[in-house]
Amino acid sequence: MRTIGWRVLGVLCGVAATPAPEAGSTPAEAMAQFALPEHFELQLLACEPDIVSPLTMAFDEQGRLFVTEAFNHLFNPKTIPVMSGICPVVLLEPGATGYVRQGMVLRDQGLLMGMTVRGGKIYVAASNKVLVAELRPDGTAGPPRTLITDEWGDAGTAGFLRLKFGPDGWLYLVSGAHPAEPAGTDGRRVEVSRATGAIFRFRPDGSGLQLVCQGLVDPLECDIDPFGHVWTASDEGPGRNRLIMAIPGVDYQSGLSMGPGNWLAQEFAWAPPANMVGHGARPQVAGYFSNALPESYRGSLMLLTWSGSSEEKATARIDVYHPDRQGVVKGPEPFLECNDPLFQPAHLYIDPDGNPCVVDLAGQLEEETRGRIYRVAYVGPGAEVDAKPQAARATPRSPEDAFRDLRSRNQNTRQRAAQVLVAGADGSTVSALGQLLREKLDPFVQAQVLWTLDGIGTPAAVDAITDGLHAGEGAIRAMAVRILRELAPPDLATRLATVRDDTDAETRIEYALGQADSAKAVEQLQAALFSPTVQAHQHRRLRYQAAVELSRRLTADEFLGLFTSREEPKALIGAIALDVGMLEKANPQAAAAVNQLLLDPPPERID
């Protein structure tokens, strides 16, 4: 019986909470309950009656604000939420005191938990499908068509949750805990291993569907850093959130009946790598890669958590974490706290200017009377003030403007410039991009240059990406290898030979994964892990990634050789590889190795 729990919407919208006092019954009263660092101010972008029960937000290139609403989503407190009514996307435009409702964009497509807008199109996640529709000049949507269908069925509020464009131009889809079986427009179909939260990605036309990761609990949001790494948070219980820099294709093992209760809490070296963070539940993560905030925030992660109504602690908060290249974070640094018992944060969003925004249901979902969107702006020394919001500035009209904007410290500006350059690319465009890649630029800018070349995809662009293997930054070299692996030119092995002896650990792991021959991949993975000049085994995320890849390629004897090694790093890699091999069941050699261990246990075992 397909009765997936309605926990996501219940948690997200607070429908099971005790009715709270009317502390924030007006926007002014609510705003008085927020605390921010010095030189920051809270701004009200929109509120009731212009929005009611808002869930998500997005700006388009013209500066128009689109908001999904749960309005008319009826609630039966004795059972579960019952999807009914219009559940619209609404359009708002700037007015004298904030954004004002202009009309309805889309309706009657089910509960729209996720939405994004780009290139004159609106993309929405609606339970068991992802839809796209053309936007007319007045902001209304044309007939929607389906990009992704969940062939498992309708999982309700545990179905498809959020949509986000990555810097690679792909769409990333967050799915709630159910046995998802999404299928794209090209017939490609992906399955998860059980009722679990997962992240997928696909091209904007619905093709190329891929699994990013699975084994998550209520992953309400994800974000993608400039280098293409996917970040998300898994809600393992109050105060037990896992902040994860996802390893492609990995199962993060939530929901499995295995190991001790603290198995996933990073107390065991075999467990999938994550950061245990957060003070509350329903975590949402947003990366900060722009310039509206002080420089110290650039490259950080913002984590929104909610703790419910309490006299002792904040209802909700945003904390800032600073990640390193291997996904280990430092923090938290307090950024925002709110003690309004009506505050029900539903979405953390970085606007085109680079300002954090929070969508607030402002009470119980069944009330359907309130809704707010807040923006946090920096107004201190060095603040970059522009009377015209970034969202309303014109997309660059010429290649010269686009190349100028590609160097911007604003993420939205860089991505718009990349879209223009890809659309009008010719030989001179590729040549100029290659020259940019050879300059000593901000790594975020270099990364966007690589994504632009990837989008162009011509043989000359592939040559320019190959030049990125000589970049001074290891993160750029590793990224260039990943892109080349995905483009898969026929002479890939020759191109990658440049980094065969690279001393950057991530680059060497990526190089190993670029080997078409399984035996060579195993050889190079072990070289990256244990070479004295690289020692990738010292980095928990790279160690786990390499062990996962080894688990899919090793013979039984190779499994045993690692697991029974007297060298602890090798034994640990062997243990992880066996664990993953038995979980995935993709390589029967793992089971053969375990059977051999049961018949003839080694005299010594690692803990």
443-456 and 459-467 helices, crossing angle to 10°:
160
| Reported pTM | 0.92
Distance from C-alpha of 302 to C-alpha of 283, rounded to nearest angstrom: 10
How many distinct helices (H) and strands (E) make up the chain?
15, 27
For residue range 209-265, what is the model confidence (pLDDT) as tens digits? Answer: 999 999 998 899 999 999 999 999 998 876 678 999 999 999 999 877 555 556 676
Q: Which of 259, 165, 157, 264 is nearest to 218 (CA)?
A: 157
Asked if pLDDT for residue 544 goes beyond 60, the answer is yes
Work out the percent of the chain whose per-residue pLDDT is above 90: 71
Neighbours of 328 (CB within 10 A): 16
From first CA to last CA, the distance across the chain in angstroms is: 41
pLDDT of residue 8: 36
Q: Note whether 578 and 554 are within 8 A (CB).
A: no
Least confidently predicted of 208-212, 314-318, 353-357, 536-540:
314-318
Least confidently predicted of 301-310, 334-343, 380-389, 496-505:
380-389
pLDDT of residue 510: 98
Q: Note whether 142 and 106 are within 8 A (CB).
A: no
Pairing of strands 230-235, 222-224: antiparallel
Comparing 236 with 62, which gets the higher pLDDT?
Answer: 62
Tell me the domain boundaries of the chain. 27-278+339-378, 394-499, 500-607
Tokens coding 11: 């948690």
Neighbours of 373 (CB within 10 A): 27
Do 394-499 and 27-278+339-378 fall under one CATH topology? no
Neighbours of 315 (CB within 10 A): 24
Return the H-helix or E-strand segment holding 9. Answer: helix 7-13
Q: Which residues have C-beta within 8 Å of that of residue 397, sequence separation ≥ 6? A: none
Question: 54: pLDDT confidence band, cut at 50, 70 and 90?
Answer: very high
Query: What is the DSSP secondary structure assignment for residue 436, as one 8-state letter?
Result: H
Distance from C-alpha of 253 to C-alpha of 238, rounded to nearest angstrom: 18
Tokens coding 18: 């005790």
Q: Note whether 192 and 171 are within 8 A (CB).
A: no
Comparing 35 with 238, which gets the higher pLDDT?
Answer: 35
Asked if pLDDT for residue 74 goes beyond 50, the answer is no
In the chain, the largest separation of any two C-alpha atoms, in whole Å, equals 78
Asked if pLDDT for residue 12 goes beyond 50, the answer is no
Asked if pLDDT for residue 5 goes beyond 60, the answer is no
DSSP bridge pairs for 123: 116, 132
pLDDT of residue 607: 46
Q: Which fold has domain 394-499?
A: Leucine-rich Repeat Variant (1.25.10)
Least confidently predicted of 65-74, 125-134, 353-362:
65-74
Q: Which residues have C-beta within 8 Å of that of residue 574, sequence separation ≥ 6? A: 559, 560, 561, 562, 563, 564, 565
**Cα dist from 484 to 148, 309, 459, 514, whole Å:** 27, 50, 11, 9
pLDDT of residue 121: 98
Comparing 120 with 5, which gets the higher pLDDT?
Answer: 120
Distance from C-alpha of 356 to C-alpha of 18, rounded to nearest angstrom: 29
* Radius of gyration, CA atoms only, the chain: 24
Distance from C-alpha of 465 to C-alpha of 446, rounded to nearest angstrom: 11
Asked if pLDDT for residue 308 goes beyond 80, the answer is no
pLDDT of residue 280: 76
Work out the percent of the chain whose per-residue pLDDT is above 70: 87
Q: Mean of the pLDDT values across residues 111-128?
A: 93
CATH assignment of 27-278+339-378, among 2.120.10.30, 3.90.1150.10, 3.40.50.300, 3.30.930.10: 2.120.10.30
What order do you get walking across the sheet with 40-47 strand by strand?
40-47, 372-378, 356-360, 345-350
Asked if pLDDT for residue 81 goes beyond 50, the answer is no
DSSP state letters, 42-76: EEEEEETTT-SSEEEEEE-TTS-EEEEE-TT--B-
DSSP bridge pairs for 536: none
Distance from C-alpha of 313 to C-alpha of 296, rounded to nearest angstrom: 27
Comparing 131 with 25, which gets the higher pLDDT?
Answer: 131
Distance from C-alpha of 161 to C-alpha of 174, rounded to nearest angstrom: 5
Q: Note whether 81 and 157 are within 8 A (CB).
A: yes
Q: Is 538 helix (H, G, I), strand (E, B) or coil?
A: helix
The answer for 522, left when phi > 0, alpha when psi is -120 to 50, beta otherwise, is alpha
pLDDT of residue 309: 52
Q: Which of 144, 141, 242, 249 is nearest to 192 (CA)?
A: 249
Q: Which of 243, 160, 239 is nearest to 206 (CA)?
A: 160
pLDDT of residue 254: 86
pLDDT of residue 82: 43
Give the helix, strand, coil percentages of the chain, each rounded to 5. Answer: 30, 25, 45
Interior angle at CA 488, CA 487 and CA 494, nearest 5: 125
Q: Note whether 34 and 42 are within 8 A (CB).
A: yes
Return the H-helix or E-strand segment holding 285. Answer: strand 281-288
pLDDT of residue 395: 72
Neighbours of 262 (CB within 10 A): 12
Tokens coding 296: 């110290």
Asked if pLDDT for residue 561 goes beyond 90, the answer is yes
Q: Note whether 449 and 437 are within 8 A (CB).
A: yes
Least confidently predicted of 103-112, 165-174, 290-299, 510-519:
103-112
Q: What is the mean pLDDT of the chain?
A: 88
Distance from C-alpha of 320 to C-alpha of 323, rounded to nearest angstrom: 10
What order do you get walking across the sheet with 145-150 strand by strand?
114-118, 121-125, 129-134, 145-150, 182-183
Question: 331: pLDDT confidence band, cut at 50, 70 and 90?
Answer: very high
